[in-house]
């Protein structure tokens, strides 16, 4: 079809596309949280387009982990004679246009309601925040196109209902959220004696919808009882039967033109909304499809090119779209749990601040929910076959999801029938511990430095934006900071603290049961925010100390000057010494070494992917990173993790770029100076005077997951 670019003066067209989103041209690899990632979980391929279309791009997604049918459903067509680029407004010669009447929405967790199914990864995946500002959907969101359609319909009909009085984000009158719609479809506590809150937001294929659920969701979103979705998914003939008696094209055009309302359709196991149509000079009909790729854009295609296999029929005289439940946006007791969750899912108290701790056991409700969520023992289940649960994170592509043995364990550790946050008898007894148990090789939450006993930061150390925690409960000094730092330092401790170098501390939180834990300031040291009213039992973090025993073999290797030695995945050494002038090359994978020595003149070459070195004995690391620039070395801090299974001290005398997990060993950093980037767990952690330290925190966490 020959296309001509013309100026369209129709007011309806100008208004229609005033707020249309445009997809930016960028070729990157993202993880499930939208961050740049070294492992390809999703690849964004931007196709080149003619110069005449330089303002638009074709957003073309392919996912190797998806089943073929799912990839086909989300595959965005390339621009051709029947299709415009994603996000491109129709701009060739047309004779008429009707609509649009809806706003495209991305598939995203869009409230602070809790998603529990990520297990120990709830914090990094954002279990309690909205994901609307994230680049890409995650495991829970990937199969919620039907939720997006219901939300788009609710918002469109609400705009139609209110007219000039419509306000999209009016306080106390918020429009329906995706989380609320999905929750209403899957929450079945009243009918399911084995209900747990984790079931409210199922993952992957379990979060997809049948004709029945889609119908129920649309009725809820539109305030109707007579809306019906006819779909031919999974062998159903509902749409075939409906379309044999009704004209699909006529229904779509009449609904949009006469009712000024959008229409829900299905194509290739994917649900979309059609909210506009147009005719070209040649008589070709084009329709605008919202959410073609679950990322909140739109696409114009010819009607004949759309393989429609589902349609929703809405009784226009019934529609009375509801607002969202205001409890979703309220937190009366300010404990981080939305009142909606407290009332309907966890049945906790929430009227005032005193209700943060419903069972009055000294642990806030949210901390208890976090605790039993993290300490549940998840496993892989894929077609009934369990696989290795040690991988990190749990992969939920292709109907691989987290479950647990005995679902009551999610909420009731002492098995007395009462959820932990509502049970005053479950406060540290009955085999229940309100503190989360983290992975054996991970740093708790967002901490950069976590010591089981003491932390000492020497003078002349340049601290970056760092968060530190000292776990030991003691009236003696557990943290000493002699550095003079103006950066944003956050510190959490159960023991006394001494600041004697003029450090500026952003936050100090002290956990103690009496006044025996002291804070000493000198030489201009200052604390911006000091909280000392935390009970010791509210300390919410701990690390595992019972690391598994490892076998290191009997090989003893010395790498001489001028030689290059590569650490291969699975290799085992009784000892490995890298001499001055030698180079150690790291390959992705895991290696096992009893004693490791890298001389001062040795160099280490990072692979760009994660290498895990398991250590059993002594470690002396004087080597330098072979990468030349500081930025390059910083970027590699997520590519090396050292896990110490023993008790011998680790001596890192040079700069360091990586993660160290040594819960039973003392960790000595930077005695010869040098930049330090990474995150650390140790029994006692000492940062020597003269070290230059900075930490990249969450960036490291996002990349160290396998």
pLDDT tens, position by position, 351-365 = 988 898 888 777 778
Which range in 263-272, 384-393, 535-544, 650-659 is most confidently predicted, on average pLDDT? 263-272
pLDDT confidence bin for 482, thresholds 50/70/90: confident
Q: What is the pLDDT of residue 506?
A: 81
Per-residue pLDDT tens for 255-306?
A: 999 999 999 999 988 999 999 999 998 899 999 999 998 888 899 999 999 9
Phi-psi region of 502 (alpha: psi -120 to 50; beta: other; left: phi over 0): left
C-alpha–C-alpha distance, residues 236 and 344, integer Å: 34
C-alpha–C-alpha distance, residues 147 and 182, integer Å: 6
309 phi, psi to nearest 5 deg: -130, 20
Tell whether the torsion through CA atoms of 658, 663, 664 and 668 is positive or negative. positive
Helix, strand, coil percentages, rounded to 5, for the chain: 20, 30, 50
| Whether pLDDT at 693 is above 80 | no
Q: What is the pLDDT of residue 61?
A: 36
> To which H or E segment does residue 156 belong?
helix 145-162
Kind of pairing between the strands at 656-662 and 611-615: unpaired
C-alpha–C-alpha distance, residues 195 and 175, integer Å: 28
Are 372 and 420 in contact by the 8 Å Cβ rule? The answer is yes
Burial of 406 (0-12, 13-18, 19+ CB in 10 A): exposed
Q: Looking at residues 459-466, what average pLDDT do you find?
A: 78
Q: What is the pLDDT of residue 29?
A: 28
Q: What is the pLDDT of residue 119?
A: 63
Q: What is the pLDDT of residue 71?
A: 60
C-alpha–C-alpha distance, residues 602 and 626, integer Å: 9
> Across-strand partners of 197?
none
Q: What is the pLDDT of residue 36?
A: 31
Q: What is the pLDDT of residue 627?
A: 60
Q: What is the pLDDT of residue 655?
A: 76
> To which H or E segment does residue 174 belong?
strand 173-174
| Whether pLDDT at 451 is above 50 | yes
Q: What is the pLDDT of residue 374?
A: 54
Q: What is the pLDDT of residue 615?
A: 95
| Whether pLDDT at 583 is above 90 | yes
Residue 330, SS3 per DSSP: coil
Q: What is the pLDDT of residue 12?
A: 35
Q: Looking at residues 465-493, what average pLDDT do you find?
A: 83
Average pLDDT, the chain: 76
C-alpha–C-alpha distance, residues 342 and 344, integer Å: 6
Q: What is the pLDDT of residue 680?
A: 92
Tell whether the torsion through CA atoms of 624, 626, 627 and 628 is positive or negative. positive
Q: Looking at residues 445-462, what average pLDDT do you find?
A: 85
Q: What is the pLDDT of residue 447?
A: 81
| Whether pLDDT at 398 is above 60 | no
Domain parsing of the chain, residue ranges: 11-313, 330-422, 472-538, 556-677
- Residues of the chain with pLDDT > 70: what percent? 72
Higher pLDDT, 691 or 542: 542
Q: What is the pLDDT of residue 541?
A: 74
> To which H or E segment does residue 567 belong?
strand 564-567
Q: Looking at residues 503-531, what average pLDDT do you find?
A: 82
Least confident of 43-52, 138-147, 359-368: 43-52
């Amino acid at each position: 079809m020959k296309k001509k670019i013309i100026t369209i003066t129709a007011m309806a067209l100008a208004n229609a596309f005033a707020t249309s989103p445009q997809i930016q041209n960028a070729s990157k690899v993202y993880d499930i949280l939208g961050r740049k990632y070294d492992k390809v979980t999703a690849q964004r391929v931007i196709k080149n387009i003619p110069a005449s279309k330089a303002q638009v791009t074709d957003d073309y997604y392919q996912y190797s982990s998806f089943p073929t049918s799912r990839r086909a459903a989300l595959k965005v067509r390339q621009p051709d004679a029947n299709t415009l680029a994603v996000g491109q407004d129709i701009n060739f010669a047309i004779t008429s246009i009707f609509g649009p009447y809806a706003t495209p929405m991305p598939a995203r967790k869009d409230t602070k309601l809790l998603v529990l199914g990520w297990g120990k990864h709830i914090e990094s995946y954002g279990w309690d925040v909205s994901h609307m500002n994230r680049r890409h959907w995650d495991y829970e969101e990937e199969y919620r196109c039907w939720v997006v359609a219901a939300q788009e319909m609710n918002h469109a009909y609400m705009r139609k209902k209110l007219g000039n009085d419509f306000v999209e984000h009016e306080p106390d009158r918020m429009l329906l959220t995706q989380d609320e719609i999905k929750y209403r479809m899957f929450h079945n506590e009243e009918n399911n004696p084995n209900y747990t809150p984790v079931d409210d937001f199922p993952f992957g294929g379990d979060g997809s919808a049948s004709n029945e659920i889609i119908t129920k969701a649309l009725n809820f979103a539109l305030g109707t009882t007579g809306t019906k979705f006819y779909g031919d998914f999974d062998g159903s003939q509902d749409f075939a039967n409906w379309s044999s008696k009704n004209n699909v094209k006529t229904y779509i055009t009449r609904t949009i033109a006469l009712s000024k309302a959008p229409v829900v359709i299905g194509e290739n196991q994917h649900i979309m909304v059609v909210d506009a149509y147009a005719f070209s000079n040649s008589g070709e009909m084009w329709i605008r499809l919202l959410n073609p790729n679950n990322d909140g854009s739109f696409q114009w295609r010819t009607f004949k090119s759309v393989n429609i296999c589902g349609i929703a029929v809405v009784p226009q005289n019934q529609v009375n779209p509801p607002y969202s439940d205001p409890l979703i946006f309220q937190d009366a007791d300010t404990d981080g749990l939305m009142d909606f969750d407290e009332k309907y899912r966890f049945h906790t108290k929430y009227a005032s601040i005193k209700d943060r701790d419903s069972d009055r056991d000294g642990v806030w409700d949210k901390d208890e929910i976090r605790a039993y969520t993290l300490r549940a023992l998840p496993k892989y289940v894929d077609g009934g076959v369990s696989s290795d649960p040690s991988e990190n994170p749990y992969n939920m592509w292709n109907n691989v999801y987290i479950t647990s043995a005995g679902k009551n364990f999610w909420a009731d550790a002492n098995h007395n029938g009462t959820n932990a946050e509502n049970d005053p008898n479950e406060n540290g007894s009955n085999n229940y511990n309100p503190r989360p148990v983290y992975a054996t090789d991970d740093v708790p939450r967002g901490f950069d430095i976590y010591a089981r006993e003491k932390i000492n930061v020497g003078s002349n150390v340049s601290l970056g934006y760092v968060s530190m925690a000292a776990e030991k409960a003691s009236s003696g000094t557990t943290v000493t900071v002699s550095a003079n730092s103006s950066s944003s330092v956050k510190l959490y401790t159960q023991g006394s603290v001494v600041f004697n170098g003029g450090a500026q501390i952003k936050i100090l939180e002290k956990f103690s049961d009496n006044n025996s834990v002291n804070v000493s300031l000198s030489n201009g040291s200052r604390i911006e925010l000091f909280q000392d009213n935390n009970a010791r039992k509210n300390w919410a973090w701990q690390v595992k100390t019972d690391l598994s025993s490892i076998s290191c073999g009997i090989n003893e290797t010395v790498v001489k000057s001028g030689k290059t030695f590569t650490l291969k995945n699975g290799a085992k050494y009784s000892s490995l010494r890298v001499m001055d002038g030698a180079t150690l090359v790291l390959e992705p994978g895991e290696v096992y070494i009893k004693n490791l020595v890298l001389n001062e003149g040795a160099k280490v070459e990072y692979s760009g992917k994660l290498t895990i070195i398991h250590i059993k004995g002594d470690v002396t690391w004087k080597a330098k990173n072979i990468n030349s620039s500081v930025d390059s070395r910083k970027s590699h801090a997520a590519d090396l993790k050292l896990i110490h299974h023993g008790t011998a001290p680790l001596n890192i005398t040079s700069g360091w770029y990586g993660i160290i997990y040594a819960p039973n060993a003392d960790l000595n950093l930077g005695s010869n100076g040098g930049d330090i980037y990474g995150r650390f767990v140790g029994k006692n952690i000492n940062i020597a005077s003269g070290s230059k330290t900075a930490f990249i925190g969450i960036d490291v966490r996002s990349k160290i997951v396998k």
